[in-house]
Amino acid sequence: MRRNAGLFVAISLLSGFGSSAMSLVAGIWILDVSGSTSLAALAGLCVYAPVLAGPWLGGLLDRAPRRPLVIAVNLMLAAALLALLAVRGPAQTWLIFAVSCAYGVSYVLIDAGETALLPSALAPTELGDVNGWRSSAQEGMKLVAPLAGAGLYAWRGGHAVAVLSAAMPVLVAILYALLRLNRAPTDRPTERGDGPRTGLVVLFGQRATRLAVALAAVSIAMSGFTTAGTYAIVVTELRLPTTFLGVLASAQGAGSILGGLIVGRLIAARGPVAVGVAGTALFAIGCLARCLPWWPATVVGAVVAGVGLPWALVAAVTAVQTHTPSALLGRVSATANTAMFGPLVVAIPLGSAAVHLGARPPLMAAAAICLTAVVVATFRRRSTAPDETPSALSPRRTAGTGPASR
């Protein structure tokens, strides 16, 4: 299992590097080619929009062998990235948008596929730790890859970045092929529903997954809602240069790396819902700290928020992996991703509008919403019989000799 854990962390490092580098360069490339800032901003929307189709796309992972499908998606993504070599001027701008959409679709399939594969490769008690390590690896790449991608773009242009990014999913596909999948569930469902409704019913039909995913959704949505407010705090309230936003991004990234390294142990000790509650509360505290008129407090707030977000996210992912029948993990994981990240599509523009009320109101509103979610989740957790305690994290799945194609 140590071997599989190392492979999954390496997969997160490589995929995180390629996607983080290309996501920044895509916008810069569109801006250079078209001269339009609005078109450049739409590249990010193309990446996030496909998450709304998660419940439908996730069904593919339950109807086909998961590992071959994930490998195929990575290879097709590499081919799509190489299509960017045809970009020569404004007439080919549509290619960058098309590849951004391909990235978005691949995110949905690969993220859900990897979530579904993990229980087949690891013991149930290892899921929290490995999910945390993967989160730390991805956050670490967010600190390194954008700088590397921008530097390579400035030196050799967009084509060089496209080739480098295309190499990453090829290497990831090789690592997926090296996984040893020999853990199979004993709880096969007797009936398999089709369509998005099945994923919704399974995801929200259990208290452990319902509460953990809801807490993660609130935290992630509020992270998007507070983006404009954080910009305004730095520029308008603290009167610091815009480059200070890079300091905050690095501080939050450092907090996320730290949070990811310890979250697995917390989940093993307290359960996913309790860790989700703690993560959401920490994010609220981080928002309030950023409201203080003192720049060191803003940095500390970014670190605290950075710890809280991966706690909430990893707790939700681990709850889904632990409490979902393996045959339905693909669509349930994709539905969970839609529930957690879909609200960003609305939260970001709402936050951009709310900042017209002032820099602090969006941050204070986000803290209030997060703390309300914490109170509700805590009350519901205590008012019903426990089903997500550490003992419940042990094994609904037992070691087996399931098909290696999964």
3-state helix, strand, coil in the chain (%, to 5): 85, 0, 15
- Amino acid (one-letter) located at 400: G
In our burial notation (b when 16+ CB lie closer than 10 A, e otherwise), range 30-69 reads bbebeeeeebbeebbebbbbbbebbbbbbbbbbebebbeb
pLDDT value for 383 = 66
Reading phi first (left if > 0) and then psi (alpha if -120 to 50, else beta), residue 35 is in: left
Q: What residue has token string 């050799």?
A: 156
d(CA 214, CA 373): 8
CATH T-level fold of 1-180: Growth Hormone; Chain: A; (1.20.1250)
pLDDT value for 195 = 58
pLDDT value for 353 = 86
Tokens of 318: 């681990």
DSSP label at residue 52: G
Q: What residue has token string 């989160």?
A: 135
pTM (two decimals):
0.75
pLDDT value for 238 = 86
Spatial CA neighbour of 202 closest among 75, 65, 320, 294: 320
Spatial CA neighbour of 102 closest among 153, 169, 147: 169
CA terminus-to-terminus distance, the chain: 16
At the fourth CATH level, which superfamily is domain 198-382?
MFS general substrate transporter like domains (1.20.1250.20)
Domain ranges of the chain: 1-180, 198-382
d(CA 157, CA 373): 46
Same fold, 1-180 and 198-382: yes
Count of residues in the chain: 406
Please report, for residues 44, 144, 150, 312, 354, the alpha-carbon distance to residue 228 in angstroms, rounded to integers and kept in the order given. 16, 23, 23, 22, 9
Spatial CA neighbour of 362 closest among 273, 288, 269: 288
d(CA 180, CA 183): 9
d(CA 116, CA 182): 14
pLDDT averages per 10-residue partition of the chain, 406 residues: 85 88 83 76 75 77 82 94 92 90 88 83 83 84 80 89 94 92 51 62 82 93 87 84 74 87 88 93 94 91 92 92 80 85 84 86 94 92 54 38 36
pLDDT value for 341 = 86
